[in-house]
Structure 1
Amino acid sequence: MKKNESACVSPLFLQEFGGLILLDLQYHIVGISAQALHLTAYNTTTFIGISMQTFFHEAFPSIDGKLTKLVKSVVLRDLPLQVISLRYGGRNYYFKCHRQGEMIYLEWEPQLKKYVSASKLNELGFLLERSYPNNWNMICKAVNSFLKYDRVFTIRIFETGQARVIAEDKPGAPAFSMHKEFAETFLPPDLLSYYNRAAYRYIPNLRKREQELYIHDTDFDMHTTQLAAMPFLHEQHLLSHGIVSVIFFPIIINGEFWGMIIGHNTQEKPLDLQNRKLCAFFVQNASSKYESSLGQRILAENTHLKQVEDILKERLYQNKTVNCAMIQSLDILREMTTADGVAIYNEGELYLHGHTPNRQTLHALVNYLGRHTRKAIFKDHNFRLNHRQHFKSKLPFAGILSYRLDEEGSYYILWFREEKQIQLTQVYPRPNKKQNRDAGASTTLHFSEENIHDTAVPWDDKDLNFVYTLREAINTSIIQKVKEKERITEELETANNELEMLTFTLSHDLKNPLSVLHSGLYYLTDKAHTLQAEKLHQWHKNLLNSIDNISDIVNNIVFLSQNKIKTFTKDPIPMNYYIRRIVQESIILHQAQHCQIKYGKLYPIWGEKSALYQIFMNIISNALKYSSSKANPQIFITSALKEDHIHYYITDNGIGIPDRQINAVFDMFNRADNALNHQGSGIGLTLVKRIMDRLGATIKINSDPSGTRVDLFFPLVTSFPVNMMQHL
């Protein structure tokens, strides 16, 4: 068997500080470490398949029963990891057993201490009570009070894959100094699983030769055991800097691998299992407190973000254009992303704040972004490093974040970050002429320290959250402005319709009283000298009524033009005399003295007088006009008092409306085919419908060749005065 020489964990070698056996669920051995095998007379081929009891009886004769009980309790009772301390061969050992899928793991290691002292437990309690949620230096110091290592430090692993030392206790070698950064090649994803799959990883002596693991051809998760060998890449790096003992504690924040607390020692430093577990517990507790404080910080950031969002929305609402609001908010745009500078590009116009490229470079940059990416939001903290060859002059920034507001690329918001020089540890494989186990097979790893230029601090979730919030605010503003534009357009259309209605009212409804006035004056001019005084007085009264009707219509039109969005003010209007007067005017207008008019009860209506005049004048005039050609024209006008409305209906025996055209009677300029021989413009019923709508009333028309019926439904506002109901 050969040791795995790649950067991945070797599946065939274990650390030497303990023993391991692997069992299937029938309690047969399927894998064994060299240290465990040496306790028996079996060899590397004969151990496969022997029973657990047989192995325990030969390897641990004095404690075989206790070990059997331990293993079976884990399997039969489905227990998590179980640890017991047993004495064998003159010293104490920790035996750890757990089940992973279809395999049982039993490993053991020497117990270095009988117990943890009361003072250590008191110290741990004191440390747990204290809160260091954002102070990883203090956490490193607290952990090292148990470890007593040369150095303990915290390494933060970023989304980019790079890592950086952010805290330390006792400064160590330059290779691990404060703020030291490591390239993504140093912590690739396949190696991270080695660290985040356990509460800790412990290697007491990197220089000791690893023991072999003999395993049957079956699935085996090497990361499950604490004896798992360290990744070859990291082992070589540590050894090259004189590190002998090392321990790793993963930091898990919100379910993500956030970083590690690492202990280094230049001499072999055995640590008892109890001490390692106490440190792991402390790190988990510190991680939990940091996660809680991070949640509070995120809550505070979100609160601030909401306040900024409200300011932006207010500015977007108050300003006529998005551009004006953004120019007014340049300081906010820069502050919320901690950028060194921000620029707005709007169809060639530029607005700058902070440290930004010159105008020529900005124009070139916008053109390049338009060709390079179709993403609305684009970020690259290595922009100068990755794209500098596409620009004639040196870019004065290293990182960029851009937000394109439109598909055409005519509007951009650009954020800039300046260069931050870092020293980065890189890993490179090199061919190795030696072909032996210690040499790492055909390749060896070379570590180099490189000064990295043309890179900036990466854009993080906080920066992107602000840009997403900004985009949402702008989109909401645009939608609101579109709705406002639609509302204004609708109001203009309504106003235009109102103007149209007023125009047609003037041209149509004034014709009736003007015609009456014209006919009356013409008649009086010709006949006044032959009329009796009483008849002459009646004609004068009719002419004055026509003038009053003209005045009412004009006043109503003026009122509507001044109050376009208001409805009519409703009053209780008595209709008994009013309708009879309208009928008389219509008879004169259409010279229909031969028409027979019948009346039922004529209830008052809640409405506006001139509006009711226009409604009934149009309907009654139509009834007379289209019935007058019949030999015996008849019109019947009546009403009924319902629970919540007054129902008027007017019937005639005129020419009727064809079925195919009945649904279009309220359309402007529409006239039925059988009405073309009668004078008219086709706007009367359109005006009636609009006035009825303004009154909150309803009109229905039913017709056949024998005549037409018009139903009018006027809502009740409240009960009518009693005296108004006495003469119907």
Structure 2
Amino acid sequence: MTLSNVDLTNCDREPIHILGSIQSYGYLLAIQPDTYSIVHASDNIAELLGSSPDQLMGKPLDRALAETNLPVNALIEFLNVGRRNGSWEGLNPQAFTLNETSWNLIVHQHEGLIVLEWEPAGDSNILTNQQLVAQALTEVQSSRTLADLLHNTAQRVKKIIGYDRVMVYRFESDWHGHVVAEAKEDDLDPYLGLHYPASDIPRQARELYKVNLVRMIADTTSTPSRILSQPDWPADQPLDLTHSVLRAVSPVHIEYLNNMGVQASMSISLLYRGELWGLIACHNNTPRFVNYPARQAAKFVSQLLSTALEFRKDEEDKSNLLRYREHGQLLHEQLLLDDNIVQALTKRPTTILDLTKATGAALVFNNNVYRLGNAPNEASIRSLADWVKLSDVETFLETNQLPQLYPPAEDFRDVGSGLLGIILSKELNEYVFWFKPERIQQVTWAGNPNKPVTIDERGQQRLSPRKSFEAWTQIVRNTSDIWSEAEVSTVVKLREDVLQIINKQANEIRILNQRLQIAYDELDAFSYTVSHDLRTPLSSIRCYSEILLEEYGQDLNPDARALFQKIIDSTERMRSLIRHILYYSRMSRTELNTQPVDMRELLDGIREEIMVTTKGRSLAINIGDTPPVIADPTMALQLFTNLLSNAAKYTRLTPEAIITVNGKQSDEEVIYTVEDNGIGFDMKQAGKMFDLFKRLENAKSFEGSGVGLAIVKRIINRHQGKIWFHSEPDRGTVFYVSFPTVPTT
């Protein structure tokens, strides 16, 4: 039997949010939000309320519970308050006493239903929990190392919930987990340092951990209680338990825990910028219920840790980005002062090796190879350059597993398992490469990470959870430390600096100009076709559609009128696209009329126009210093209109959108920044930013043609300026444009 016959994604596709049952220690009702009528109930509900699910289905909540000892009026008021607030998050739990037992009621609304879940109140030491939370807050605010912080967090969570073992489990880039801190009973074997394969926590489970931050399994040996539905409820609409505190457990996961000898578990999510960084994973060898207040205290401790992780990571990223940019600025100054690019990049006090954490670098330029630090030998670098030339990469490439993409790199993996490179010219085979060495890892897995294949009762092959968790060691090779966004951003900026100098030095003789001449000729022919063969029939389509709509609109049904209007709207969008294409194609041959441009007047006009067209949303456009630029006024207007319009467009989903424009002048150039707090993007997609008709993945839901930034790039090139940017997903974008202070001719 081979794994090639087994569906390796069966765990990833298991619908764990609609398992159709809950853990047996609690009880559940689901009601309609308008009538409070019961549509779902756990089959054990009679233990709590004295009425079977059949007796409850379809009845309003107050009538269904009238004969119980439950304080119905208080319950209804609790639900009403939550509905008015739009959430029960700050109200949960609601304490009730029923049949001389204390219960906590936890309520949430999801997928059009209100879900009520009762669980035992249990023993609660509120004072102790508060003290532990206060200690955790003090710990986060102290200046200890991250390792100490993680260790102490594990200790505090263990005190709060009383489990045998509490681990801090960090996800690596491939989603396998690594135990980085642990608190345990003395008689248990340590798991600290062990790795767990990504398949142990499949994709859909990780998504649930981002939504429901605390997950408890009180007793893996208990039989779950099924969720029953009213007779006429659609079979294809099972109750979604994404936000449930009682959600039952996947049989595969129960088997996994039983194989570990664990009978109770709890997981608390650790988030970084809204994504899953890791888990606080808690195990107990016997069944153990942790009440809601204790779980919330543990959750609060984890949120403090998540905040500390984000703060420390942001500070580290900001510090690295600032350091790399300082080195990048020094390199830029060296390029401006030195006519020799090789000298400026490799022979001066600051070199390309200072821009990243790479241990080696190489410049391939004018058919020569210049090596710095621990770089591969010249022959290996030339072969690598030939491979890059044949690749689809146009701007830059980055990988921390180069031998997987380029097998010959295994020969120099000790110095170059990681590669970050920028393309200066594929035609001339000119590049800058940075290398990171192989980081040989001895990874100790908790058992063989390859899940065994078993045959079920139907004769089907399936992957089953591992039955052994004894340490299983693997040597990981051909992998380096990853490249950070700050490193990528810095080398992208260097590429712009170098290309600017190259274009100044070899503007008439480089092969690129020959290719551009061919492209210009093709664009001339294209412009003629667009203006004479497309615009005239397009105008006719619009004109005839408007006549038909005006003359016969009263006789048409609403659907037909709507279709005519769609034709008119589509022709208008097509006219706009043609206009942009014509502007783009003609720009390279339009004569520049450079003069000092009053940027305050220009930016105020653009702001006024954007604010008029974006009424009904919270948008602020702040304009700071506005030193004049030497530019063609019409092109400058087009450039900044595109940048500010894009910023306004991509902040549309931001509740309080802020765009900031600021200028700064030096002896050599004037630099303007346009910063927004919009959707941002991954810098690893930056290579196609200025390509004609290319749009980034997260921008495709916004209207656009993919021409605007290509026009901006052409304008700045005509002025012998530069444009670069820095962005992070969901954290906004900053565009930088520079104009030389000496007028261009």
Fold equivalence (TM over 0.5): yes
Describe the shift of the 1:30–1:478 C-alpha distance in structure 2 as closer, same or farther (beyond 3 A).
same
What is the SS of the residue equivalent to 2:159? Answer: helix
The residue number in structure 2 matching 1:19 is 27
Distance 1:147 1:457, change over 3 A: farther
- Partner secondary structure for residue 374 of structure 1: coil
What is the Cα deviation at residue 112 of structure 1?
Answer: 0.9
**Cα offset for 1:146?**
1.6
**Residues 342 and 414, structure 1, Cα contact 8 Å, conserved in 2:** yes
SS of the residue 1:326 aligns to: helix
Amino acid at match of 1:61: N
CA distance in 2 between counterparts of 1:27 and 1:285 reads 37
1:164 is paired with a residue of what secondary structure?
A: strand
Question: Which residue in 1 is equivalent to 2:438?
Answer: 418
Question: Whose radius of gyration is greater, 1 or 2?
Answer: 1
Q: Give the secondary structure class of the aligned counterpart of 1:285.
A: helix
Contact preservation (8 Å) 1:74, 1:99: no
Contact 1:195 1:250 in 2 (8 A): yes
Quote the residue 1:459 is aligned against. 482
- 1:34 deviates by 2.0
1:96 aligns with 2:106: yes
Instruction: Quote the Cα distance in structure 2 between the aligned partners of 1:91 and 1:301.
Output: 57
1:294 aligns with 2:294: no
Q: Does 1:430 align with 2:450?
A: no
Alpha-carbon distance in structure 2 between the residues aligned to 1:427 and 1:392? 25
Which AA in structure 2 matches 1:89? N
Alpha-carbon distance between aligned partners in 2 of 1:287 and 1:184, rounded to the nearest angstrom: 21
Equivalent residues of 1:191, 1:231 under 8 A apart: no
2:127 to 98, 108, 118: 118
Letter in 1 for 2:136: L
Residue identity in the other structure for 1:189:
R
**Is 2:211 the counterpart of 1:197?**
yes
Q: In the alignment, what sits opposite 1:50?
A: 59
Which amino acid in 1 is paired with 2:440? K
Amino acid at match of 2:425: D
Does structure 1 conserve the Cα–Cα contact (< 8 Å) formed by 2:401 and 2:417?
A: yes
Whole-Å Cα distance in 2 between the matches of residues 381 and 456 of structure 1? 6
Distance 1:24 1:456 in 2: 54
Question: 1:383 maps to which residue?
Answer: 402
Mapped to 1, the partners of 2:189 and 2:401 lie a distance apart of: 24
2:328 to 297, 309, 324: 309
After superposition, residues 109-188 of structure 1 pair within 5 angstroms as 109-113=119-123, 115-130=124-139, 131=141, 134=146, 135-170=149-184, 177-188=191-202
Q: Secondary structure at the match of 1:274?
A: helix
1:278 to 1:301, Cα distance in 2 relative to 1, 3 A: same
Residue ranges of structure 2 left out of the alignment (5+ in a row): 1-9, 508-745
Task: Pick closer, same or farther for the CA change 1:242–1:182 going to 2, 3 Å.
Answer: same
Q: Cα deviations across residues 491-548 of structure 1 (Å, max 9, x unaligned)?
A: xxxxxxxxxxxxxxxxxxxxxxxxxxxxxxxxxxxxxxxxxxxxxxxxxxxxxxxxxx
Change (3 A) 1:138 1:312: farther
Q: Among 40, 43, 53, which residue is 1:34 paired with?
A: 43
Query: Does the 8 A contact of 1:399 with 1:419 survive in 2?
Result: no
- Residues 562-573 of structure 1 mapped to structure 2, 5 A cutoff: none
Q: Kindly tell me the number of residue pairs found equivalent between the two proteins.
A: 475
Of 214, 222, 229, 2:248 maps to 229
The answer to whether the Cα contact below 8 Å between 2:252 and 2:465 also exists between their aligned partners in 1 is no
- Deviation track 1:230-288 (CA, whole Å, cap 9, x = no partner) reads 45554433332212221111112222222222222222222121111111112112322
1:469 matched to which residue of 2? 490
CA distance in 1 between counterparts of 2:300 and 2:205 reads 23
Equivalent in 64, 67, 80 of residue 75 of structure 2: 67
For the Cα contact (< 8 Å) 2:45–2:52, is it kept in 1?
Answer: no
C-alpha distance in 2, partners of 1:203/1:282?
19
The 10-residue stretch of structure 1 (86-95 or 320-329) with the greater mean CA deviation from structure 2? 320-329
Q: Between the two proteins, what is the percent identity of the paired residues? A: 16
Structure 1: 5+ residue stretches without partners? 487-728
Aligned counterparts of 1:27 and 1:119: Cα–Cα separation in 2:
38
Letter in 2 for 1:356: A
CA positional deviation for 1:77 = 5.2
Paired amino acid for 2:493: E
| Mapped partners of 2:228, 2:246: distance in 1 | 14
Q: Is contact 1:87–1:93 with CA below 8 Å preserved after alignment? A: yes
- How far residue 418 of structure 1 moved from its aligned partner, in angstroms, is 0.8
Which range moves more in the overlay, 406-415 or 90-99? Answer: 406-415
Contact 1:313–1:473 at 8 Å: present in 2 too? yes
Aligned-partner Cα distance in 1 for 2:309–2:239: 35
Q: Secondary structure at the match of 1:35?
A: coil
Cα deviation for residue 442 of structure 1 reads 6.0
Q: Does the CA-based 8 Å contact 1:403-1:414 persist in structure 2?
A: no
Decide which of 77, 89, 96 is 1:86's aligned counterpart. Answer: 96
**Secondary structure of the equivalent of 1:287?**
helix
- Give distance in 1, aligned partners of 2:422 and 2:506: 26
Contact persistence 1:249–1:261 (CA under 8 A): yes
Is the alpha carbon distance of 1:332 and 1:258 closer, same or farther for their aligned partners in structure 2, counting shifts above 3 Å?
A: farther
Query: 1:340, CA displacement in angstroms?
Result: 4.0
Q: Tell me whether 1:252 sits opposite 2:252 in the alignment.
A: no
- One-letter code aligned to 2:80: K
CA RMSD of aligned residues (A): 3.5
Residues 1:188 and 1:287: Cα distance change in structure 2 (over 3 Å): same
